[in-house]
Amino acid sequence: MSTTFCVANQKGGVGKTTTSINLAAALAIAGKHTLLVDMDPQCNATSGIGCQPVDRHPLVIDQAIRHSVIETRLDGLSLLPGSRSFRDVDMLATADSNDSRVLIDHLASGISHYDYVLIDCPPSLGHLTRTALSASNEIFMPIQCEYFAMEGLAQMIEVIKSVMVERPGQLSFGGIVLTMYDESLELTAEVDEEVREFFGEVVFDTVVPRDVNVTEAPSHGLSVIEYAPRSRGTRAYIELCMEVLERD
């Protein structure tokens, strides 16, 4: 049975897409058959691993998911690309409960044979994120080490709880990872302490440091592991991958 992570945070700029790409790459390198699903209309997960957005989003066309999957240059890592089509984005974002169920079933039908599936969500609490949550086993949340890290999390947690009520026993909190971690800053230590005190063991021991290599890698269409194998960012994502595998 595959593990499907909904990588989500309603706040933008927290390292959500970066974490989706690099954790997916690390899992593939670890020998796990991994699929990265781009549900963000910005399509950064698609371009960030060197692929192009498609004209129509695979979730809204009458075609089996497997026909839309792209094999990336990294062995073991596949991509369900995103689309910037305004019509498709509108269809996905305004789907009612019946349409959302169809989308969820359509997605589920094409991902069951993967070891890990990571769904990169837009920075919002809209239908796209709810659909991704409903299609997932676990919620995976990156949190940036900054002053507003906890802002809005109450709303996010309420949405997660509502999906858990709708799908009892099918969605759990997979983990929280602290990103853009700068141990030289007192604020980083304060956010770290606050998040761990609030969420407890849900927070991964691994933190992702601020690293220019992590920022530069997507512009080359590569994960940081491929772009800068000896970097601090690469080490962090490999350690995060190991934690994920240990928890599974």
pLDDT at 54: 92
Q: Which residues contact 246 (CB under 8 A, 6 or more apart)?
A: none
Predicted model pTM: 0.93
- Which domains, from first to last, does the chain contain? 3-247 (3.40.50.300)
pLDDT at 182: 94
* Measured distance CA(243)–CA(240) in Å, rounded: 5
pLDDT at 19: 97
DSSP code for 149: T
pLDDT at 171: 87
Which has the closest alpha carbon to 81: 73, 94, 71?
A: 71
| pLDDT per position as a tens digit, 63-75 | 888 888 999 999 9
The larger pLDDT score, comparing residue 96 to residue 128, is at 128
Q: Which of 15-29, 51-65, 169-183 has the highest mean pLDDT?
A: 15-29
As to burial, measured by CB atoms within 10 angstroms (0-12 exposed, 13-18 middle, 19+ buried), residue 75 is: exposed
